[in-house]
Structure 1
Amino acid sequence: MAQVRRMDWQIEAKSTADKFFDTYKTKSHLMPKMSNQLVTDVKLLQGDWDSVGSVKLWHYTLQGKSVTMKETIEKIDDTNRTIVYKVLGGDCMEFYNSWNSIINVTQMGDGCLVKCTMEFEKKNDDAPDLVMYDDFFTTLIKNVDSFLLKN
């Protein structure tokens, strides 16, 4: 029987929690501008940019390779500044049966704490954990934070 695994990261940002959360909730189409060395394109396939059920296709670079990810927003909790995404397909699903990502943003002093959680089920025991996304998300969050502080 397959086991759902979980990985968590926490990154401090200088932007306010509301501003950072709003960016992930309503401005994902700007990610290629905010972090162009990582995210090369985001296309809206269904719905709108900031609603539950919307579907996006991401093109990004992971460890020097071009990768795609098709995802949907499963839940938005404005009160707790949390978004739950479900990965539907793409190159990134080669080794996984399921994959959910959760972003939670908490105010911390003048800045915020961004928590990223990945829940995934491997297709087999040889499939890698999602450790390769640690640097990706850390860099993405820092790039988004830098963009928000300048604009």
Structure 2
Amino acid sequence: MSSDYGKVETDVELKASAAKFHEFFTRRPHHLSNISSDKIKDCNLHEGEWGTVGSIVHWNYVHDGKSKVAKELFEAIDDEKNSITLKVVEGDLLEHYKSFKITIQASPKGEGCTVHWTFEYEKVHGDVEDPHTLLQLAVDLSKDICSHLST
């Protein structure tokens, strides 16, 4: 049923440059636990190398006040467009979604950038809520990264 497929997206305006934000999220996401310790407990490389397509990253994070885990596959990295596509391959999200894909694109805007987050997913059943609180977590993380990059 088409109602089981969904897409939510948002933009975050940041003072950091698009290239710096992209570089951080692509090659140094394991530093997130240092700058967003209330949201990200741990991020480890499970397979491959940081910043390469095909790599798998394991996250321990806090969402809606609960500890969660996720394994994400870097499906695409475009350094020219400052975009990354991640596919969730294991973890808590897959209890509610048959598939979950995250696209993060940072576009230059003035002295800073606009980061566009897109979540595309298929729910396991129609009663599953759209991941708006998870999108808010992404917004909050983006702001934390920006604060870190600005120091």
Same structural fold, with TM-score higher than 0.5 when normalized by the shorter chain:
yes
Q: Please give the per-residue CA displacement for 1:105-131, whole angstroms capped at 9, x wherever unaligned.
A: 000000000000000000100111111
Are positions 1:99 and 2:100 aligned together?
yes
The secondary structure found in structure 2 opposite 1:15 is coil
Query: C-alpha displacement at 1:57, in angstroms?
Result: 0.8
The alignment covers a number of residue pairs equal to 150
Q: Specify every segment of 5 or more residues in structure 2 that has no aligned partner in the other structure, as ranges.
A: none
- 5 Å matches for 1:103-122? 103-122=104-123
CA contact (8 A) 1:69 1:90 kept: yes
Please say if residues 13 and 145 of structure 1, whose CA atoms lie closer than 8 Å, have aligned partners that are also in contact: yes
Partners of 1:141 and 1:126 in 2: CA distance: 29
Counterpart of 1:15 in structure 2 is 16
Q: Give how far 1:93 is off.
A: 1.4
Q: TM-score, normalised by structure 1?
A: 0.96
User: Structure 2 CA distance, aligned partners of 1:18 and 1:12?
Assistant: 14
Q: Deviations over 1:16-54 (max 9, x none)?
A: 111111111111111101211100001111001111000
Structure 1 distance, partners of 2:108, 2:8, is 22
| Superposition misfits of 4+ residues, deviation over 4 angstroms | none
Return the alpha-carbon distance in structure 1 between the equivalents of residues 136 and 7 of structure 2. 16
What is the RMSD computed on CA atoms of the aligned residues? 1.0
Counterpart-to-counterpart distance in 2, 1:14 and 1:34: 17
The alignment-based identity, stated in percent, is 33
The answer for unaligned runs of 5 or more in structure 1 is: none
Deviation at 1:90, TM superposition (A): 0.4
- Partner of 1:73 in structure 2? 74
Amino acid at match of 2:83: T
* Paired amino acid for 1:67: K
TM-score normalized by structure 2? Answer: 0.96
Rounded to whole Å, the distance in 2 between the matches of 1:123 and 1:38 is 26
- DSSP-derived class of the 1:29 partner: helix
Matched, 1:43 2:39: no
* Alpha-carbon contact 1:29-1:49 (below 8 Å) kept: no
What residue identity is the alignment partner of 1:50?
G
Q: Which amino acid aligns with 2:140?
A: T
Q: What is the distance in 2 between the residues matched to 1:102 and 1:134?
A: 12
Superposition deviation, residue 134 in structure 1 = 2.5
Partner of 2:142: 141
